[in-house]
């Protein structure tokens, strides 16, 4: 896991969170707040604006991935059809040559 400082996140222990949840919510409005239990991250609080931005980016990534997969499937189908047509034309030519 990346260093929390490089993510620009603050951290808070579960104990401090339960003592002062209002402060934690205020801090989370400024930047992500990582909740730590036994020196390990267990949750992340983000503002609703940051959440909406993250979900928007995730949807964009999913849409781009879906489009790329569809393009790949179409390309595969086109290639399959071309190979199939090529096979049929070779078969027809072979039959025509054999009939002569």
Average pLDDT across the chain, whole number = 77
**pLDDT of 55-96, one tens digit each?**
999 888 887 777 666 666 665 655 555 555 555 555 556 566
So what CATH class is 10-46? alpha beta
For the chain, the distance separating the N- and C-terminal CA atoms, rounded to the nearest angstrom, is 73
pTM for the structure as a whole: 0.56
The string of DSSP letters for 23-88 reads HHHHHHHHS-EEEEETTEEEEEE--HHHHHHHHHHHHHHHHHHHHHHHHHHHHHHHHHHHHHHHHH
Q: What is the pLDDT of residues 41-54, one digit of tens each?
A: 999 999 999 999 99
* Predicted local distance difference test score (pLDDT) of residue 60: 85
The pLDDT, as a whole number, for residue 1 is 47
| pLDDT at residue 100 greater than cutoff 60 | no
């Amino acid at each position: 896991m990346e260093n929390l400082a490089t993510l620009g996140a603050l951290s808070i222990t579960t104990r401090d969170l339960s003592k002062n949840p209002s402060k934690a919510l205020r801090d989370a409005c400024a930047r992500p707040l990582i909740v730590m239990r036994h020196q390990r991250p267990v949750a992340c609080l983000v503002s609703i604006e940051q959440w909406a931005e993250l979900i928007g980016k995730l949807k964009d990534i999913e849409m781009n991935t879906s489009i790329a997969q569809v393009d790949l499937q179409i390309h595969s189908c086109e290639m399959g059809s071309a190979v199939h047509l090529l096979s049929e034309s070779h078969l027809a030519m072979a039959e025509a040559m054999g009939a002569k």
